[in-house]
Structure formats: structure tokens, C-alpha cells
Amino acid sequence: MTQFLQEVNDRIKGVPIQRCFHCRKCTAGCPMASVMEHNPNKVIKMIQLGMKDEVLKSSTIWLCASCETCVTRCPNDVDIARMMDVLREMAVEKGIAVPQKNILALHKAFLSSIKMFGRVNEPIMLAHYKLLSGDYFSDLDMGLSMFLKGKITPFGPRTKDMSSVKKIFKDTKLS
């Protein structure tokens, strides 16, 4: 039961999350709490209770927008935003099916664009996102309008030294 708590704390490398006394300032200020399955402070309690599966499978960890309001206002300096990063990383490592699959699909498409070009090539990244998410038809009008304004182009400048970028991806690959 304590193993999960220990693992999360070890990865955060900051204040132990059990310092939380559930004042709920994090939840009160969270812009995504209204669509989350569990409130941010509840996630802390769930980790303390060893509810690893429930936490890593929950949509909450993916719906966190990383705005860092929680950690900024926490009276005990618990880094909840970093905790959400840690939980997402653990879920990816374990290959857990993500309930908010579009969110992970966007992250994957984004990173694969960096791996390919060193920079984000928006048209190619968005096409890749659509393939991964199956969300083919949303925002096509917006994309077309941006393309016509010359805002997005598949031919933007790319990073030249791609071997250094590829090495970063290789050396930091999750086990």
C-alpha cells in the first residue's frame, strides 16, 4: 500500500505529498476540476491509500492542464502539477489505456513531429493527431483559414542537426 506513495514521492523529488491537509485550495483554483473525475486533493488521498490502478486509469491525470495554480497556492508546497506529470509518465510506462485518448494522441503527434523535424510542423502534426485520435472532422474550417492566411505551412524551417535531437529521444526513452 505504501509502495505507490513512495514511488510517486521519489519521482517528484520534492515535498512529500502526504503533507497535504486537504484544505482544497488546489481544487478550488483548478480550472479543470469541473470536468475531472476526481478532485486534485482526492488524488493525493487515493495515492496514500495505494489505489494505484484507479489513479493511473483515471481521466483526471490527463485533464490537468499544467497551469500550476495548485502548487502556487498550496500552503504546504505540495507540487501537485509535478505529481500529475509523474502519474501520467507512470501510466505511459505501464501502457495503461488512457480514458482521455485524444489528449495523449495530441502529445504523441506533437513529440513525433519534434523527433522528425526538431520543431513542430503544425499541418503534419495535426494530420498525425487526427489519424491517432480518429477525430477526423473537427476544426477543418479553422485549419483551412489558418493555411490560407499563411499561418501554418508544412514547409517551415527545420532543425538542421537532427542527429542531436534523435540522440535526446533515444537517451531519455522511458523504460
Partner 1 sequence: MKVSYYPGCSLHATAKEYDQSVKAVSAALGIELKEVEDWSCCGATAAHSTNFKLSVALSARNLVAAEKDAMDVMVPCAACFNRFKSAQHNLKEDAELKKEIEKAVGKPYKGSVAVRTPIDIIANDIGLDNLKSKVRKPLKGIKPVAYYGCLLLRPPEVCQFDDYENPVLLDKMMAALGAEPKQWSYKTDCCGGSMSISRSDVVKKMADKFMAMAREADANCIVVACPLCQANLDMRASGNNRVPVFYFTELIGVALGLGGAQDWFKLHNIDSKPLLSGLGLL
Per CB under 8 A, 94 contacts partner 1: no
Residues 39 and 33 sit within 8 Å (Cβ to Cβ): yes
Q: By CB under 8 A, is residue 63 in contact with partner 1?
A: yes
Terminal-to-terminal C-alpha distance of the chain: 23
Is 105:65 a contact under the CB 8 Å cutoff? no
Question: How many residues bind partner 1, per CB under 8 A?
Answer: 62
DSSP 8-state symbol, 149 = T
DSSP 65-120: ----HHHHH-TT---HHHHHHHHHHHHHHTTPPPSSHHHHHHHHHHHHHHHHHSS-
For partner 1, the binding residues in 114-173 under the rule CB under 8 A are 114, 118-120, 122, 126, 129, 133, 138-139, 142, 145-146, 149-153, 156-157, 159-161, 164-165, 167-169, 171-172
Positions touching partner 1 (CB under 8 A) are 11, 13, 31-32, 35, 63, 65-69, 71-72, 79, 81, 85-86, 88-89, 92, 100, 102-108, 110-111, 113-114, 118-120, 122, 126, 129, 133, 138-139, 142, 145-146, 149-153, 156-157, 159-161, 164-165, 167-169, 171-172, 174
